[in-house]
Structure formats: C-alpha cells, structure tokens
Chain A
Amino acid sequence: MLKIKCELVEKILVSAIRDSIHKNGFKNAIVGVSGGLDSAVVLALCQKALGARHTFALLLPYRASAPESLEHGKAVCAKYKVPFEVIDISAAVDAYFDRFPADTPLQIGNKCARERMSVLYDFSVRKKALVAGTSNKSELLVGYSTQFGDSAAAFLPIGDLYKTQVFELASHLGIPEAIIAKKPSADLWPGQTDEGEIGIAYKDLDIILHLMIDRRWDEGEIIEHGYALPLIRRIKKMIVNSQFKRTMPPVIKLHPRTVGIDFRYLRDWNK
C-alpha cells in the first residue's frame, strides 16, 4: 500500500533540494546527522542534489547518546564523502541542568534537540548553508518531535514520506545496512526507541495514517481493514494534540491584514 517508485521520488526530492537552496541564494546545505535513518537519507539526497563539496554534516552527540550512533553518523558521511564535524553538546546541556535540574528525561531530550538546533543554525551562518530538516511524515503527523528543536529547518525534504517509505528509499539510495537494520530511535536517552515511545509499530502506524489522512477513510473503514478502534482513536488524538507543532503561533488579529491570517504570500515569493 505504501510502496513508492524510488527512482522518481529521488528525482523529485533531489530537484526540490537544489531548488530550495539555489532560489534562496545559497549553494550549501547543512544536515544534523544523528546516525539514524532519516538524517542519513537527507544527507544522501543533499549530496546528490548539491555535491559533497556543498553538503556539510554536523554530528552532535550528548553523553547519553548510544556510541554506535556516532559511528553510524561517521559511516554515512564517509559513504557520501561529505565533510563533517563532531561537536559534543554535553557540556552546554549539562551546564543548564546543573543549575536547573530536570524532572523528567523528556526535558533533557528536548533541551538536547534545541541545543542541536542552535548549533546547526549557528553553523548555517558559518557555512553559508541552509538547514535541511530530517522530519518524516509519520513523526510530523503524530507530533513526535521537539518544537523548535529537530522540527526546525529551512525545508523538510522527506516530510511527506512515511517512515516505512523512508526505509524503502534508504535501501534504494544504498544507505549502510547497519543503519537500516537498527530500531529507529530519537536517541534522547539510553534504550529509547520510536516505536516503544509512540506505542505502535511504524508499519501499522503508517498504514493507519495513510488511510486516515491521504485516503480520508473513516473509523469504520479502518476497523474493517483490521485495526482496533482504541488504537485509531489514540492516533487521531496524537494528530489533533500536536497540531500546534505544525502551524505558526496564532497572531491576534487587529488590523485589516494580519500576518499568519490574511497576509497571504508564499515563502517562495519572488524566488
């Protein structure tokens, strides 16, 4: 159901990345490479679109990150011959929590995501590059991201591909097998997996999302397809509750034309 014609998807995404970078007056893209699947795919696409010379990777481990993540990140940079730098964010993150101790691991995870964003955007200036985001459609829809953290980017090349489709594209692009084979994880704390945290396997989540969002099936039709009502409702609730992450903050309207409401122009205005 979610199979894609990878050659065509690659062609479209490569063309879109080139377009986004060049029309905004840049030549370079910068990618935060985590050692996971999504950033590996985005790095590969940027390299194909712009060349290795115009693609730059930042590997931003925290002291609790899995050691293999760094190795996998380096492996994917080596595979695509993309220059990279490793910047350990532990000191910056820990300095904050030493003063204001965290109550939950989620706080540390969010702080790490925002610290990485902060470093990426600083390096985007140093490297004269736009930040290519690595969010996929599954996590965008259920809100499995840190607002102003990993969701912050100039553009999201794989933001309309479900996670299972990112796997398919990764194989097509020749992403190292060790990255494809491991369990997807935001790597915010030891042992964390996406599926464990979201509470459902991507293969099921993606089908339900696809039926619900792209095909506009109602609950009854999805139940007939083999999924339980409580699961469908839980996913729907995740979508509704995370809508704030997918829109700009509301502006309180006072004037005839208001930013975010009826001052209506694309980002690509005159680009």
Chain B
Amino acid sequence: MAAACQLGPGQRAVVSQLPLCYISSMKVRAIQFSPTLGNSEKNLQSHISHVSRAVRDGCELIVFPELSLSGYHLKDLACDIALKQGGREWRELEKLSKKIDIIVGAPLEEDAGIIYNAALYFAKGKWRHTHRKVQLPNYGMFEERMIFKPGDDFRTFKIGTMTAGILICREILFPMLAYLYFIQKTDLLIGISNSPQRGIGKDGVSSFQLWETMGYVFSQFYHQNYVFVNRVGFEDGIGFGGGSFFARAGQGICRKAKYVEEDMLDAVILPADVRRARLASNYLRDEQPQLVLKELQRILHA
C-alpha cells in the first residue's frame, strides 16, 4: 500500500496563516479492487470489509471505482442488480457512512426501468449526492448507451469543508467537463473509472497515459486536488488496468497505485494546496466563463 503524501515543514507554516476553511485536511483512501460481475451482495461485502479497515486506519473518505457494486459489462444484468434508493444495499451504505464518508459506483434505478451509471456519496449516515454519468461510451467494446440513461449536470457538493465534484470514467477525457467543476471552485475532484487496458506497445499500455495526462492537466491548469480510482481484474479477457493516483493541486501526480494488481492508495488532501496553486498562476481568477459562454452561443447559433 502506498503511503500518504507528506508536507514539508515550510508548507505547514503557510497553512497556519490561512482562514479556517483552508486549514482542514482529509485522509482519503482509494480502493483499487476487482468486483465480481453481477454479484452485488458479494461486492457489498467487499465494500464493508474495505470500509472497516479504512475506519481502523483513520481514513475520513473512501472512494471505490466506477460500478464498484456491480462490475462493468452489465449488459442484461443491469436491471437485475441496479441499486435502488432506500433499498437494503442503500441502507447498508448509509449505515457504513456513519464512521467514514463513502463514494461508490453503481447502476442506479431512480425511476422504474431507467438506470443511470452513477457515483453516490454517503456521509454521516445519509446519502448526500449523486452524479449520473453524462458521457456514456458507445463504441468498440463499450455499449453503455444500451444500458444507461445519460445524466445531464455537473454539480458540486461538500465533503467536509471542501467543495467536491465527481467525474466518471470517459467524462475525465473531456477537459470541458472538469472545467465546469473548476469554475465552481472545487477543491477536490474525484474521478472513478473502469478503464480497460489497451494499446500495448514498446512503452507500455497507452490507455494508462490517457488518465495520467488528464490528472496532470486537472492538477496544473485547473488547480484541483484530484483522486483517480480505477478498478483492476478481468471480465471475459478484458483487463482493467488500475494505476489509481493522487494529483496534488498545482503539483501533478504525487502518488500512484500499482498497475494491473489490487492495491490501495492513501492521500492527505489539503485545500490549502488549491490556494497555493491559484496564487502561483491564477487561472481561476483570469478565467472568463462569460466570454466562453458568449462564444459558445455564437458558435452554436451561427
């Protein structure tokens, strides 16, 4: 297991000068594991076990990968195992969240027969936030549009004092979607993924580079603390590559889990890093969303 990111003594001194909302920190654990396809009960037990251990280790937030409760290639399984608000699994997750904040991925049936690929945040014994995946890949080995209804928004929510946002897998590869969180002043961006490893060459697997490139962009240019959690394991020969990582605001990737194998990654998130990054090169201050909006309208309505 990788160790938590450490701060230098100089950084601590700066933190102590900040307003209260910037002093807090949060110990986050990313779980890089292999769910069993279509066995939500077994997967829930895995979640319970990881949560217990994270609580013992003093973590405050635990993040599981995309579709962590179900597995990825759901095809006709989705309707049989979709999570339902108020159902037994839902209540179990709420109960688990009394001691630690939890983000899980699940097929979510909000209305009868309508299923979303969702990320759910539970804290202090209650459900707090749902992000419904907007960018559903539907090409090559992917067929998410056959299963899920796309979501339609990117809303932030609070994790402790931090403003957070969630992206699910392919959404991470659309920089404009992370931008939407950037202009909502997120301190913590969470990307959860089921990325199949593909594109082998002499330098390794090209799909690994996709996620790390975006992590660098979010950290350096959107000044967000970014936790990327990818699953591992195989489904009918399709392997999921892992390589979860933590990118500190303004500093790039500072911790990375193993590729291919199960692993855990701990990181201490400091909102103060966001402030430091903004002061160093204030892209947020200089960003002109109104101009972007005006130009988008001009382009779209031309």
Binding site for B on A (CB under 8 A): 3-5, 8-9, 11-12, 15-16, 19-20, 155-156, 159, 257, 263-271
Task: Known pairs A4-B200, A271-B36; list 19 more (Cβ under 8 Å).
Answer: A3-B201, A4-B201, A5-B200, A5-B203, A5-B205, A12-B197, A16-B239, A19-B233, A20-B234, A257-B76, A263-B76, A265-B75, A265-B77, A268-B73, A268-B235, A268-B236, A269-B37, A270-B37, A271-B37
CB of B75 within 8 A of CB of A266, answer yes
Question: Which of chain B's residues have a CB closer than 8 A to the CB of A269?
Answer: 37-38, 77
Chain A residues whose CB sits within 8 angstroms of the CB of B209 once the complex forms:
none
Is the beta-carbon distance between A267 and B75 smaller than 8 angstroms? no
Contact partner of A270 (CB less than 8 A), chosen from B34, B39, B197, B204, is B39
A225 CA to B76 CA, complexed, in Å: 43
Cβ contacts under 8 Å, B37 to chain A: 266, 268-271
Tell yes or no: B298 within 8 A of A by CB.
Answer: no
- A195 CA to B259 CA in the complex, in Å? 36
A16, A257, A263, A266 — most chain B CB neighbours (10 Å): A266
* B261 at interface, CB cutoff 8 A: yes
Pair A11/B260 contact, Cβ less than 8 Å? yes
Contact with A along B11-36 (1 / 0, CB 8 A): 00000000000000000000000101
Across the interface, B205 reaches (CB within 8 A) one of A8, A20, A155, A159, namely: A8
Q: Report how far A156 CA is from B234 CA in the complex, Å.
A: 13
Contact of A15 among B39, B202, B239 (CB under 8 A): B239
The 10 A-B residue pairs whose C-beta atoms are closest, nearest first, are A3-B202, A264-B75, A266-B236, A19-B234, A264-B76, A5-B204, A268-B235, A270-B38, A266-B73, A268-B37
Q: Does B86 contact A (CB under 8 A)?
A: no
Cα separation A120 to B259 with both chains bound (whole Å) = 34
- On chain A, the residues within 8 Å of B234 by CB distance are 15-16, 19-20, 268
Task: Tell me, in angstroms, the Cα distance from A155 to B235 when the chains sit together.
Answer: 12
A15 and B38 CA atoms in complex are apart in Å by: 21
Closest-CB distance, A168 to chain B (whole angstroms):
10
Contact with A along B240-263 (1 / 0, CB 8 A): 000000000000000000011100
**Shortest CB–CB separation between residue B69 and chain A, in angstroms?**
14
Q: Give the CA-CA distance A246 to B38 in the complex, in Å.
A: 26
Task: Determine how close the nearest CB of chain A comes to the CB of B200; give it in whole angstroms.
Answer: 5
* C-alpha spacing A15/B203, complex, angstroms: 19
Smallest CB separation, B34 vs chain A (Å): 8
The smallest beta-carbon distance between A12 and chain B, in angstroms, is 6
Residues on B with C-beta less than 8 A from A264 are 75-76
Residues of A within 8 A of B76 (CB): 257, 263-265
Q: Is B10 an interface residue (CB 8 A)?
A: no
Separation of A19 and B233 alpha carbons in the complex (Å): 8
Report the Cα distance A265→B75, complex, angstroms: 6
> Could you pull out 8 A-B pairs where Cβ atoms are within 8 angstroms?
A8-B259, A19-B233, A20-B237, A266-B73, A266-B75, A268-B235, A269-B37, A269-B38
Q: Which residues of B contact A16 (CB under 8 A)?
A: 234, 237, 239
* Closest chain A CB from B295 CB (angstroms): 33
Docked complex: B41-62 residues within 8 A CB-CB of A: none
Residues of the A chain whose Cβ atoms lie less than 8 Å from the Cβ of B260? 8, 11-12, 15
Contacts of A4 in B (CB 8 A): 200-202
Kindly state the separation between the CA atoms of A264 and B37 in the bound complex, as whole angstroms: 13
Partner of B204, one of A8, A19, A20, A267: A8
Shortest distance between the CB of B238 and any CB in chain A (Å): 9
Chain A residues with CB under 8 A of B200: 4-5, 8-9
Chain A residues with CB below 8 A from B203, complex form: 5
CA A5 to CA B259, docked complex, whole Å? 14
Residues in A with CB closer than 8 Å to B236 are: 266-268
Closest B residue by C-beta to A19: B234
Q: Are B202 and A5 in contact (CB under 8 A)?
A: yes
Q: Which of B37, B77, B233 has the most chain A CB atoms inside 10 A of its CB? A: B37
Residue of A nearest to B200 (CB): A4
Among residues of A, the one whose C-beta sits closest to the C-beta of B205 is A8
Complex contacts, A271 vs chain B, CB 8 Å: 36-37
**A266 contacts across to B, CB distance below 8 A:** 37, 73, 75, 235-236
Closest-CB distance, A9 to chain B (whole angstroms): 6
A contact residues around B39 at 8 Å (CB): 270
Q: How far is the CB of A8 from chain B (nearest CB, A)?
A: 5
- The docked-state distance in angstroms from the alpha carbon of A15 to that of B283 is 43
In the bound complex, residues from chain A placing their C-beta under 8 Å from that of B205 are 5, 8, 12
Give Cα A28 to B48, complex, Å: 31
- Per the 8 Å Cβ criterion, residues 193-236 of B in contact with A are 197, 200-205, 233-236
Whether the pair B261, A15 counts as a contact (CB closer than 8 A) is: yes
B residues 64-122 in Cβ contact with A at 8 Å? 73, 75-77
Shortest Cβ distance from A13 into B: residue: B239
Interface 1/0s, chain B 253-278, versus A by CB < 8 A? 00000011100000000000000000
Q: Which of B274-297 contact A (CB under 8 A)?
A: none
